[in-house]
C-alpha cells in the first residue's frame, strides 16, 4: 500500500493530574507504508478553546522540536518508541486545563486525535439561596479544601461591578483564573446553582441554574447554563466565575 496514510490514536475519555504535577498526553500513530523516513513525520500539538480558538503548544519535525508560549521549557516528546507522538507536560498550571489536538503529518497525509486534560477533584455543589448575603463566603472560598472547583465571585462593593479585565484580576487575587464554559457546565452538572451572571474566560457572560424559580432563571424554564453571549469587555459589568485547583 503506497497511499502514505497516517492513522492517529489518542486516549479515550480524559487524563487527570493536579497543579504542579507532570502528565503525559498520549498519542500514537502508524503510517503506510511503514518504512517512511521518520525525519519526514511532523508532530504538532495544539490547545483548542471553547470558542474554537487554537493555541500552538508544541511541534516536532525529525530531531527539531519547539514549544510555544507558556509551554516553553515544560513540554517535550515522550519518545517511547516508533509511532509515539505523546508529549509530557511538567509543572501543570490552571491554564493548562482543556482540550488538546495531536496532529501527525506525513508529507501530504495527516490525521488528528484529541486528548482532554482535567485537574483533580470535583466542582462543589452550591445553592445560591444559602449564600445570598454572605460576602465573606466568596472572599474565603478558594481557601476551602476543594480541588478543581468553579466558584462565583463578586466584590464586597456589590454585584455586577466588574468588567472583563477586573474579573480576570479578582480571580487571580483568589489564586484562580476565569472559568471556561466547559468548566462551568461541568459544575452545573454537579449541582452548581447561581442566580447572577458572570464573566467566563472567552468573554461570554453566563450563569448556571439547577432549580429555576421566580426571578432566578424563570420558573417555567428548564435547568441549564443561561448564556448572555459575548459582551463588551470594557463597558459592561457582571460578576465572575473563577476556577481553581489546589496544589498537591
Q: Are residues 101 and 176 in the same domain?
A: no
Pairing status of strand 41-48 against strand 98-106 = antiparallel
Q: Are residues 143 and 55 in the same domain?
A: no
Asked if omega into 33 is within 30° of 0 (cis), the reply is yes
pLDDT of residue 38: 76
Q: Are residues 155 and 230 in the same domain?
A: yes
Q: The C-alpha cell of 63 is what? A: 530531531
Ordered mean pLDDT values, 10 residues apiece, the chain (248 residues): 73 87 95 75 92 91 94 95 95 93 90 92 40 38 54 95 97 94 93 96 96 85 94 97 81
pLDDT of residue 134: 33
The whole-angstrom separation of Cα 209 and Cα 227 is 11
Assess if residue 1 is contained within a domain. Answer: no
The whole-angstrom separation of Cα 242 and Cα 182 is 12
- Contact assessment for residue 243 and residue 179, using Cβ atoms and an 8 Å cutoff: yes
| Distances, alpha carbon 230 to alpha carbons 78, 150, 218, 225, in Å | 39, 20, 21, 14
Q: Are residues 140 and 228 in the same domain?
A: yes
Q: Which domain holds residue 87?
A: 6-119
Domain boundary (119, 150, 178) is at 119
The whole-angstrom separation of Cα 64 and Cα 174 is 39
Q: Are residues 144 and 93 in the same domain?
A: no
Any idea what the Cα angle at residue 120 is, between residues 119 and 126, rounded to 5°?
95
Q: Are residues 57 and 141 in the same domain?
A: no
SS3 at position 188: helix
Amino acid at each position: 500500500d503506497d497511499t502514505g496514510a497516517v492513522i492517529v490514536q489518542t486516549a479515550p475519555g480524559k487524563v487527570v493530574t493536579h497543579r504542579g504535577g507532570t502528565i503525559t498526553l498520549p498519542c500514537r500513530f502508524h503510517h503506510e507504508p511503514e518504512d517512511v523516513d521518520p525525519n519526514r513525520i511532523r508532530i504538532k500539538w495544539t490547545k483548542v478553546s471553547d470558542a474554537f480558538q487554537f493555541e500552538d503548544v508544541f511541534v516536532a519535525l525529525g530531531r527539531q522540536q519547539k514549544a510555544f508560549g507558556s509551554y516553553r521549557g515544560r513540554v517535550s516528546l515522550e519518545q517511547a518508541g516508533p509511532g509515539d507522538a505523546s508529549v509530557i507536560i511538567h509543572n501543570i498550571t490552571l491554564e493548562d486545563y482543556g482540550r488538546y489536538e495531536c496532529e501527525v503529518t506525513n508529507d501530504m497525509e495527516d490525521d488528528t486525535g484529541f486528548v482532554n486534560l482535567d485537574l483533580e477533584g470535583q466542582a462543589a455543589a452550591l445553592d445560591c439561596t444559602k449564600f445570598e448575603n454572605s460576602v465573606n463566603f466568596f472572599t474565603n472560598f478558594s481557601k476551602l479544601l476543594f480541588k478543581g472547583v468553579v466558584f462565583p465571585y463578586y466584590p464586597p462593593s456589590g454585584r455586577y461591578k466588574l468588567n472583563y479585565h477586573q474579573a480576570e484580576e479578582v480571580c487571580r487575587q483568589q489564586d484562580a483564573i476565569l472559568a471556561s464554559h466547559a468548566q462551568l457546565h461541568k459544575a452545573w452538572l454537579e449541582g452548581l446553582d447561581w442566580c447572577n451572571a458572570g464573566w467566563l474566560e472567552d468573554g461570554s457572560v453566563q450563569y448556571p441554574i439547577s432549580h429555576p424559580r421566580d426571578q432566578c432563571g424563570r420558573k417555567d424554564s428548564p435547568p441549564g447554563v443561561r448564556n448572555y453571549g459575548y459582551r463588551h469587555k470594557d463597558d459592561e459589568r457582571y460578576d465572575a466565575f473563577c476556577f481553581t485547583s489546589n496544589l498537591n
